[in-house]
Structure 1
Amino acid sequence: MNIPFLGTQAWIRSLNYSIVDDWRPWILRGQVAGFTRTYSNRMTFATVKARKGGGHTAPEYRPVECYAMFSRWILHDRL
Structure 2
Amino acid sequence: MEKSLLVKQLNFKARRGMKETSRIVRNLLDQIEDMSDEDLLELKKFIDLDDQKMFDYIFKHREIFFKDFSKLKKYFII
Q: Same fold (TM over 0.5)?
A: no
Instruction: Determine which structure has more spread, i.e. the larger CA radius of gyration.
Output: 1
Normalization by structure 2: what TM-score? 0.29
Judging by fraction of residues, say which structure has more strand: 1
Normalization by structure 1: what TM-score? 0.29
Higher relative contact order (CA 8 A, sep 6+): 2
Judging by fraction of residues, say which structure has more helix: 2
